[in-house]
Amino acid sequence: MIKPFKVNISKKIIQNIRSKVKNYEWHEMPNDGGWDYGTNLDYMKKFCKYWVNRYKWKETEKKINSFKNFVCNVDGIDIHFIYEKGSGTKPKPLLLSHGWPGSIIEFLHIIDKLAHPEKFGGNANDGFDVIIPSLPGFGFSGKPKRPIGPRKIASIFNKLITKKLGYKKYIAQGGDFGGTICTWLAYDFPKNLLGIHINILIIRHPDGPQTQEEKDWQENFKKDQRVEDGYRTQQATKPQTLSYAMMDSPVGVAAWIIEKMRGWSDIKHGDIESVFSKEILLSNIMIYLVTKTFNTSSWIYYGRREEGGRSLPKEHLPLKVPTAVAIFPKEYLEWAPRSYVERIYNIKKWTKMNKGGHFAALEQPDLLIKDIQEFSKVI
């Protein structure tokens, strides 16, 4: 049964978070590395001062509740989702999947443009029925009893779209783990997919690189990721140990997430706020805090490892489902040469953007929307 849902976090929870931020005991840290050692101390102090004195969660809550929210039990887990029906005569269903450390916050400001393009100078018949779930263990969705990975989440989302909402076919879009979820949807449920649109390459071909260009890419990728593997290894192997610290420290959660959002994005002059306002950063961070899901959200890395990691089974490759690839230049996970990607996906659209990074929907929403709309017209 699908039930209406409204976000309503108690004042006690908000006050408890605010109190912990206000009373955080700043400790000795090296001050000569800027952001080289991790999240910058001076920035965090300014950020937390804003958090305590100016940020209002209820404004974020109001924005989320301005859309129709629902919850539905799928495979024993309550799945929260935003559902905005589109304009036009036959809007195609569009599933938008976030990843870690993202949330539904990434998509709030593009819902209306995707569902009702005529309000922004576009054509009503380009509208989509937009479905945006919180991943299991994230945000307002229920928490699995133990870690599950993106393949299982893909199965849950397919049931949500086809069994609960009643669509026979739909488009799936995603970055970060959302891109992996899209890929597993195309692999396991090709008959239900009109197409997938991805702005990240996480999945690997089981045969590995074949050409010299592909081999060079793999070697460079490994070198680039050495300084980024720490969080990923921790969350994929011992997530619970990390959670003992994080679940009681809003400042710790904020620093953990801010480091990634700064390091993975197309910022100017090293300034994270050249792309993300404090309001956006805090709204995304607060989703993890008010729902107490830092622990269970990190499980997705453990779940992926249990499911077999990044490689797809060789059977059914390349995938049959039409695929759009959107490459944003500052994506920290460098894209492989097209020859490699074509052995995994059935590419119908390949777009190299001139700006943007990992969090495409937040960084370059109009470029992402345009690319999704164009892809929809060729499938």
Task: Retrieve residue 14's tokens.
Answer: 């908000």
d(C-alpha 78, C-alpha 181), whole Å = 18
Tell me the C-alpha distance between 4 and 149, whole Å. Answer: 27
Quote the CA–CA distance of 364 and 352 in Å, as a whole number: 13
In three-state secondary structure terms, 269 is coil
Rounded CA gap, 240 and 299, in Å?
Answer: 9
| 358 catalytic residue (yes or no) | yes
Q: Label the pairing between strands 346-352 and 92-97.
A: unpaired
* DSSP SS3 for 113: helix
Instruction: Report the first-to-last Cα separation within the chain, whole angstroms.
Output: 32
Rounded Cα gap, residues 205 and 200, in angstroms: 15
Distance CA(236)–CA(301), nearest Å, equals 4
Structure tokens at 329: 């230049």
Q: Which of 80, 98, 197, 358 is catalytic?
A: 358
Single-letter amino acid code for the residue at 14:
I
In this structure, what token pair is assigned to residue 105? 């916050």
| Residues whose CB is less than 8 angstroms from the CB of residue 338 and which lie 6 or more positions away in sequence, other chains included | 347, 350
Nearest of 375, 373, 338, 306 to residue 125 by alpha carbon: 373
Determine whether 371 is an active site residue.
Answer: no
Here the tokens at position 249 are 């420290």
Is 9 exposed, middle or buried, given 0-12, 13-18 or 19+ CB atoms closer than 10 A?
A: middle
Separation CA 243–CA 302 (nearest Å)? 13
* Look-up of token digits 């991943």: 135
Catalytic residue among 80, 83, 129, 176: 176
Catalytic residue among 55, 187, 288, 301: 301
- Per DSSP, what are the bridge partners of residue 204? 311
Q: Rounded to an integer, what is the distance from CA 84 to the centroid of its chain?
A: 19
Q: Is 188 a catalytic residue?
A: no
| Residues with a known catalytic role | 176, 301, 358
